[in-house]
Amino acid sequence: MKKIFIALLLLFPVLVSAQGHKGSVEACSPMKNGKIYYEDQVDMDGMSQNTIFKGISKWAKKNYGKDVFLSNVVTNKKKHTILVSSTVELLLNDTDKTLVTYRMFIECFDGKYTASMTDIKYEYDPKNEKKHKDIPAEDVIANGGKGNKVSYIKNPKLFCDATYFFAENLFGDVFNSLDEDME
């Protein structure tokens, strides 16, 4: 019993740190055609194009179709595409946050789908002066934050890592919207 207790005490810091800031990413700002561009290509073997489209469309409408001032969903049944535009609060660390606006485009095929996130902009107001200005992600996080052009953003790598993890979580939500047992 004593050994189990000691093992739990040794594991506790690892468990607590896993819940907080996710850390740093080496390639946190992938680019395509001069824009920050995150992409996820997912194989859904045996799942039809229509089932994939219906599942992701349902999820997108449920999560992004409620408040037209903050988000928008456009679906095209003929092309099996979904476009989500949204603005959400992005936590940078325990004390800093920003608003992030983005577009996610999803193309559905037989047995797979592709999701991409681009047109990312930040609204960052570190001094709470209510002077929100759209800042393109390319001006802050290009080249892992080394291309930062915004003087009042002192830690662009923080933006880069937080945006990367946000994109990864978003792609995870898309994947989770598809129940393998749907067909």
Its domain, for residue 93, covers: 24-182
pLDDT on residue 25? 67
Check residue 84 and give its pLDDT. Answer: 97
Number of domains in the chain: 1
Q: CB burial class (10 A; 0-12, 13-18, 19+) of residue 122?
A: buried
Instruction: Identify whether 63 is part of a domain.
Output: yes
pLDDT at 130: 73
pLDDT digits (tens, 9 = 90+) for 85-105: 999 999 888 888 899 999 999
Assess if residue 8 is contained within a domain: no
**Contact present, 105 and 115 (Cβ < 8 Å):** yes
Model confidence at 65, pLDDT cuts 50, 70, 90, reads confident
**What is the DSSP track for 107-125?**
EEETTEEEEEEEEEEEE--
pLDDT band at 15 (very low <50, low <70, confident <90, very high): very low
- Tell me: pLDDT of 182 over 80: no
107 within domain boundaries: yes
SS3 content of the chain, % helix, strand, coil (to 5): 35, 30, 35
The candidate with the shortest Cα–Cα distance to 109, out of 88, 151, 89, 81, is: 81
What is the pLDDT at residue 69?
80
Looking at per-residue pLDDT, the higher value among 24 and 158 belongs to 158
Residue 67 lies in a domain: yes
Q: What is the tens place of the pLDDT at every residue in 104-113?
A: 999 999 999 9
Segment 133-145, tens digit of pLDDT: 899 999 999 999 9
CB 38 within 8 A of CB 167: yes
pLDDT at 58 over 70: yes
Q: Is residue 87 part of a domain?
A: yes
Q: Mean pLDDT score of the chain, rounded to an integer?
A: 84
Cross-strand pairs, 87: 101
Position 76 in a domain: yes
- Is residue 16 in a domain? no
CATH number of the structural domain spanning residue 35: 3.30.530.80
DSSP 146-168: TT---TT-S-HHHHHHHHHHHHH
Task: Write the pLDDT tens digit of every residue in 155-171.
Answer: 999 999 999 999 999 99
What's the pLDDT at 4?
37
Tokens 């129940």, located at residue: 179
Q: Please check whether residue 36 lies inside any domain of the structure.
A: yes
Nearest to 92 by CA among 26, 22, 2, 45: 22
* Section 126-132 average pLDDT: 73
